[in-house]
Structure 1
Amino acid sequence: MKTPAPPRSLRDLRHLTPARVGLGRAGASLPTQALLEFTLDHARARDAVHAELEFSAIAAGLDALGLQTLQVSSCAQSRKEYLRRPDLGRKLDAASRDLLASGRRGPCDLAVVIGDGLSPSAVNAHAVELVRNLMPRLRSGGIALGPVVAAFGARVALGDEIGALLSARMAAMLIGERPGLSAPHSLGAYLTFAPKAGCTDAMRNCVSNIHSSGLSYDEAAFKIAWLVREGLARGVTGVALKDESGGQPAALRRDGP
């Protein structure tokens, strides 16, 4: 008779997730170590929100990939205003609109926008490497790219206005996600077909949790490229486009290509 496997413990669960489980207690409070770890992670999350987007480093990294980078800003004049007025982060300021509108660029399939969002630290850490992994997949699909736009004070919807000004069939907003206590440096990618001001979240696909303990660059690039390719072919994104990619790049599947 087969011996049943021993039941899993909370200690086993802690090895499977960075979430706060099985912290224990000291009287009516948390143990000192758990409290110190919470305080440190809270400080890291706050630092991520208030970090600055490192445009020069990002532009240099993209230039090495052969990509032109434009710099724009939302109507939020400061980080404090950005946090207090989300609506201002969804609109370009006048100078940025003029810059994009005066470029006389032809239409493109995809406009890639890199926005600081609620975690500029995530963008500084992951955006260039994600684009590096994404580019070969887009090129193999024959997807024509416009210039990459780095946006300060950006909310997700800012990519809609940018995509429309660049005459892009689709916009991909790579943006820092709201920091959590276990993931202060998480990057998200939001894809919108036929971008224009007024698009709703129901019209977008999202690939989130791109960071060292979440989706790898290769996994994320695989999903994004599949959604871009299928979105352009079908003329939709959002609730009308489900991720049927199989979940992982062929190199990571057990059954091979």
Structure 2
Amino acid sequence: MDEQSIQSIVKSVLRELGETNLPEGKIMTIKPDETDSAPAALSAEKINTDANAQTETDSKESLEDLSLDKFIRWNGIRNAHNASINDDMISQTGARVCQGRAGPRPRTISLLRFLADHSRSKDTVIKEIDSEWLVERNLLEVTSRSSDKSEYLTRPDLGRQLSDEGKKLVLEKCKKSPQVQVIISDGLSTDAVTSNYDEILPPLLKGLENAGFDVGTPFFLRYGRVKAQDEVGYMLQAEVNLLLIGERPGLGQSESLSCYCVYKPSPETVESDRMVISNIHKSGTPPVEAAAVIVDLTKKMLEQKASGLNLKR
């Protein structure tokens, strides 16, 4: 584009902006002074050398892990009148208190912790439990009508029913008419299952057996929703159905498990017939303690032949 064309475009834009007196302009080309070229080149070379040296220094170090306790229990309030009060508050809750701020924005550590926790919560929803993990624990794998995790998340109704193959497996492999049937499902948190399984299922099964109950065949339901326990219980004619399922994760807590308990489930079972023990994880209700509570609740359901609002506590 020549100088005349450029001048024409500039004048056109200025007229659109309301300018009327348009003086003749001239485009100037700035050429580097030959006397300055050598120092400039030297300066650029020095900058590159310094940058490379800095990169080499930084590569020997790494960013600290944001899951360390000093970041989780971080006190971001500057110049507090009594910092110990804030420290005490932080130690007693998992909520994001005393984060501080930089003007209208959060502090850098606070923001990074938020992003890390949010990523962790998203990861546990979309992750899959490896079939080898189930084989190692001798767990039968049954699927719901959801074909994959994406469909499971967008079609909750499909997770409430077993697939045709799943129904066939349950009827072929599981004990019929047990007093208690236990199901494990990934739900909305795979970490909840993998983190708590070894600490809750063995003591739960042992506790039920020691209480004298006839326990059915435990199995894993992939892509399951809570309502699926009604279909399983009805198919196997179990008196009590216990479903251990991963809870919807929150920020900073992606390992929370719930146990849904119902007496003689059927297609007519409604939510008020169901009871739940939630927040089962190392920072909430310890898995071993939860197992004892579930066994005690199972005793009451079998004694009173009821669950939910119909159970007299």
Q: Secondary structure at the residue paired with 1:9?
A: helix
Partner of 1:110: 180
- Aligned partner (choices 11, 28, 31) of residue 107 of structure 2: 31
CA deviation string 1:88-113 (max 9, x = no partner): 10011111112223458431011100
Structure 1 residue 199, shift from structure 2 partner: 2.1
Indicate if the aligned counterparts of 2:184 and 2:220 stay in contact, CA closer than 8 A. yes
Structure 1 residue 25, shift from structure 2 partner: 1.1
Indicate if the aligned counterparts of 1:122 and 1:177 stay in contact, CA closer than 8 A. yes
**In the alignment, residue 30 of structure 1 is paired with which amino acid?**
P
CA deviation string 1:20-50 (max 9, x = no partner): 1221111001111111000000000000001
* Total equivalences in the alignment: 232
Partners of 1:240 and 1:184 in 2: CA distance = 32
Partner of 2:263: 193
Query: Is 1:166 aligned to residue 242 of structure 2?
Result: no
Partner of 1:147: 217
- Aligned partner (choices 142, 145, 166) of residue 72 of structure 1: 142
Query: Is 1:233 aligned to residue 309 of structure 2?
Result: no
Deviates more, 1:207-216 or 1:192-201: 192-201
**In the alignment, residue 288 of structure 2 is paired with which amino acid?**
D
Indicate if the aligned counterparts of 2:134 and 2:140 stay in contact, CA closer than 8 A. no
1:96-107 paired onto structure 2 within 5 Å? 96-103=166-173, 105-107=175-177
Query: Is 1:120 aligned to residue 190 of structure 2?
Result: yes
Partner of 1:249: none
Q: Secondary structure at the residue paired with 1:168?
A: coil
TM-score by length of 1: 0.84
Structure 1 residue 219, shift from structure 2 partner: 1.3
**In the alignment, residue 110 of structure 2 is paired with which amino acid?**
A
Q: Secondary structure at the residue paired with 1:21?
A: coil
TM-score by length of 2: 0.70
Runs of 4+ in 1 over 6 A off after TM superposition: none
Structure 2 gaps, min length 5: 1-81
Structure 1 residue 59, shift from structure 2 partner: 4.2
Partner of 2:87: 11
Partner of 1:156: 226
Q: Secondary structure at the residue paired with 2:122?
A: helix
Query: Is 1:223 aligned to residue 293 of structure 2?
Result: yes
CA deviation string 1:129-157 (max 9, x = no partner): 20112122211211111101210110111
Higher helix share: 2
Partners of 1:219 and 1:192 in 2: CA distance = 20
Q: Secondary structure at the residue paired with 2:277?
A: strand
After superposition, the Cα gap between the structure-2 partners of 1:241 and 1:22, relative to the gap in structure 1 and judged at 3 Å, is: farther
Partner of 1:211: 281
**In the alignment, residue 41 of structure 1 is paired with which amino acid?**
D
Query: Is 1:87 aligned to residue 163 of structure 2?
Result: no
Partner of 1:248: none
Indicate if the aligned counterparts of 2:186 and 2:246 stay in contact, CA closer than 8 A. yes
**In the alignment, residue 290 of structure 2 is paired with which amino acid?**
A
Partners of 2:130 and 2:278 in 1: CA distance = 21
Partners of 2:91 and 2:175 in 1: CA distance = 51
Partners of 2:268 and 2:246 in 1: CA distance = 21
After superposition, the Cα gap between the structure-2 partners of 1:40 and 1:118, relative to the gap in structure 1 and judged at 3 Å, is: same
- Aligned partner (choices 109, 128, 136) of residue 60 of structure 1: 136
Structure 1 residue 197, shift from structure 2 partner: 2.5
Select the structure of larger CA radius of gyration: 2
Across the aligned residues of Structure 1 and Structure 2, the Cα RMSD in angstroms comes to: 2.0
Structure 1 residue 232, shift from structure 2 partner: 1.1
Q: Secondary structure at the residue paired with 1:181?
A: coil
Q: Secondary structure at the residue paired with 1:180?
A: coil
**In the alignment, residue 35 of structure 1 is paired with which amino acid?**
L
Question: Which is bigger in relative contact order (C-alpha 8 A, separation at least 6)?
Answer: 1
Structure 1 residue 53, shift from structure 2 partner: 1.8
**In the alignment, residue 235 of structure 1 is paired with which amino acid?**
K
Indicate if the aligned counterparts of 2:256 and 2:281 stay in contact, CA closer than 8 A. yes
Q: Secondary structure at the residue paired with 1:92?
A: coil
